[in-house]
Amino acid sequence: MHPVRKQRLMVVLFIVVATSVAAALVFFALRENMNLFYPPADIAAGKAPIGTNIRAGGMVKKGSVNKAGDSLRVDFVVTDYAADLRVTYTGILPDLFEEEQGVVVAGKLDPTGLFVAHEVLAKHDENYMPPEVADALKKSESGQ
């Protein structure tokens, strides 16, 4: 290769490597701040601030959803199978909200450890299948 071109190739490689190192340092400095939400285990460990707007995420615990009869209030527990977080929310839930489904809730943590949410988002997982396949899967699971 022509020496001038070789030099330019080195410049190109340098640009790519240098920006990668810079980006890696930035993301290393940010670390957990890049996360959209706290898992319940971190909240239980006291890592989340109390009284400021934060997000928490995890699975809706089976059998924990409690809807009030006379209002839009709903209480449920979000779990990451390591710790639980009690959540209360007043409003309309997304269609995909159900037990054992992922959610991200936005709101404030009160001093008693209750999460007062002002927004509930359903977190979809990466599994796609037709209803018949899902039924068959469920049957084979319950049959075991």
Partner 1 sequence: MWAFFHKLGSPKWFYDISGKILLWLAPITAILLLVGAVWGLFYAPPDFKQGNSYRIIYIHVPVAVLSLSGYYIMAIAGAIHLIWKMKLADVAMRCAARLGAGLTFLALFTGAVWGKPTWGTYWVWDARITSELVLLFLYMGIIALYEAYDNKVAASRACAVLALVGTVNIPIIYKSVDWWYSLHQPATIKFTEKSTIDPSMFYPLLIMIVGFYCFYGVAMLLNMRTEVLSSERKTRWVQDIVEKSA
Q: How far is the CB of 55 from partner 1 (least distance, A)?
A: 9
> Which of residues 43, 57, 59, 77 is near partner 1 by CB under 8 A?
57
Distance, in Å, from the CA atom of 87 to the CA atom of 91, rounded to the nearest integer, reads 13
Q: How far is the CB of 143 from partner 1 (least distance, A)?
A: 18
Under a CB-based contact definition with an 8 Å cutoff, are residues 104 and 56 in contact?
A: yes
Q: Which of 77, 75, 120, 113 is nearest to 97 (CA)?
A: 120
Residues 91 to 120 in contact with partner 1, rule: CB under 8 A: 93-97, 101, 104, 119-120
Is there binding between residue 82 and partner 1 (CB under 8 A)?
no
> Which of residues 70, 125, 142, 143 is near partner 1 by CB under 8 A?
125
Q: How far is the CB of 4 from partner 1 (least distance, A)?
A: 9
Q: Which two tokens stand for residue 100?
A: 């054992």
Which contacts (CB < 8 Å, 24+ apart) does range 89-95 have? 89/116, 89/117, 89/118, 89/120, 91/118, 91/119, 91/120, 93/120, 94/120, 94/121, 94/122, 95/122
Is there binding between residue 132 and partner 1 (CB under 8 A)?
yes
- Stretch of residues binding partner 1 (CB under 8 A), selected from 45-53, 68-76, 107-115, 121-129: 121-129
**First vs last Cα of the chain: how many Å apart?**
66
Residues at the interface with partner 1 (CB under 8 A): 5, 8-9, 11-12, 15-16, 19-20, 22-23, 27, 34-37, 39, 57, 93-97, 101, 104, 119-135
